[in-house]
Structure 1
Amino acid sequence: MPERVFRESTAEPRTRAVPLAHLSLELGHLYMEDFQLGPKRLGEHFAEVRIWADAVRARAARRVKRPRISTCFLIDDYFTRFSTPDEVIPTVLEEAGRAGLTIDYLARESGCAVADGVALAESVAHRLVESPPPGSYGFRPPASRTGWLTNGSRSPASPPRTDGGRTDWEPPVETAARNHSIFMDVELWSDDKNGQRVWSCSFLAAVWQLARLGLLRHLGEPVLVPREQDVAALPPDWDRLPPLIKVSDTKAAFSAYRTCTLVPHHFLPVENAVRLVLDQVDVDTAALAQVAKRSADEQMPVPPEVAQRATYVFYEEPGDPIEDGKH
Structure 2
Amino acid sequence: MTEAAAVFRETSADPVTESVPYSHLSLELGHLYMEDFAEGADRLVRHFTAVRPWADTARAWAAAALPAGKRPRISTCFLIDDYFSRLSTPAKLVPTLLDAAERAGLTIDYLARESGCALADPARPDRAGLAESVMHRLVESPPPGSNGFRPPVSRTGWLTNGRRAPARRTSAALDADSAWQPPAETEARGHSVFVDVELWDDNGPHRTWSCAFLAAVWQLARLGLLRDDGRAVLTPAPWDRDLPFPDDWDALPPLLRLNPAAPPFTAYSTCSVLPVRFLPVEHAVRVILGQVHVDADAVGQAVARAGQEKVTLPEGVVERTSYLFPPGL
* TM-score bracket for this pair, using the shorter chain length: over 0.9
Match of 2:328 in 1: 317
Q: Which one of 267, 271, 276 corresponds to residue 278 of structure 2?
A: 267
Query: 1:3 and 1:157, CA in 2 relative to 1: closer, same or farther beyond 3 A?
Result: closer
Question: Cα deviation per residue 1:4-27 (whole Å; 9 max; x = unaligned)?
Answer: 764322122210010110000000
Matches within 5 A, 1:246-265: 246-265=257-276
CA contact (8 A) 1:158 1:167 kept: no
Q: Secondary structure at the match of 1:203?
A: helix
Give unmatched runs, 5+ long, in structure 2. Answer: none
Counterpart Cα distance in 2 of 1:134 and 1:167? 20
Give unmatched runs, 5+ long, in structure 1. Answer: 319-327
The alpha-carbon deviation at position 115 of structure 1 amounts to: 4.7
CA contact (8 A) 1:21 1:257 kept: yes
Counterpart Cα distance in 2 of 1:124 and 1:245? 22
Q: Letter of the aligned partner of 1:263 in structure 2?
A: L
Q: Which one of 60, 63, 66 corresponds to residue 71 of structure 2?
A: 66
Question: Cα deviation per residue 1:105-147 (whole Å; 9 max; x = unaligned)?
Answer: 0000000002524411000000000011111111110000000
Question: Cα deviation per residue 1:20-68 (whole Å; 9 max; x = unaligned)?
Answer: 1000000011111211111000000000000100111111121232100
Counterpart Cα distance in 1 of 2:24 and 2:296? 20
Q: Which one of 86, 111, 114 corresponds to residue 109 of structure 1?
A: 114
Counterpart Cα distance in 1 of 2:33 and 2:192? 32
Match of 1:75 in 2: 80
Match of 1:229 in 2: 239
Counterpart Cα distance in 2 of 1:193 and 1:14? 38
Counterpart Cα distance in 2 of 1:302 and 1:162? 54
CA contact (8 A) 2:109 2:262 kept: no
TM-score normalised to structure 1 length? 0.93
CA contact (8 A) 2:183 2:194 kept: yes
Q: Which one of 181, 189, 197 corresponds to residue 178 of structure 1?
A: 189
Counterpart Cα distance in 1 of 2:270 and 2:35? 26
Sequence identity percentage: 59
Question: Cα deviation per residue 1:260-298 (whole Å; 9 max; x = unaligned)?
Answer: 000011110000000000000000000000001111111
Counterpart Cα distance in 1 of 2:261 and 2:322? 22
TM-score normalised to structure 2 length? 0.92
**Count of residue pairs brought into register by the alignment:** 316
Question: Cα deviation per residue 1:49-104 (whole Å; 9 max; x = unaligned)?
Answer: 00100111111121232100000000000000121111111111111001000000
Quick check: 1:216 aligned with 2:204? no
Match of 2:179 in 1: 168
Counterpart Cα distance in 1 of 2:235 and 2:313? 22
Q: Letter of the aligned partner of 1:77 in structure 2?
A: D
CA contact (8 A) 2:81 2:115 kept: yes
Q: CA RMSD in A?
A: 1.6
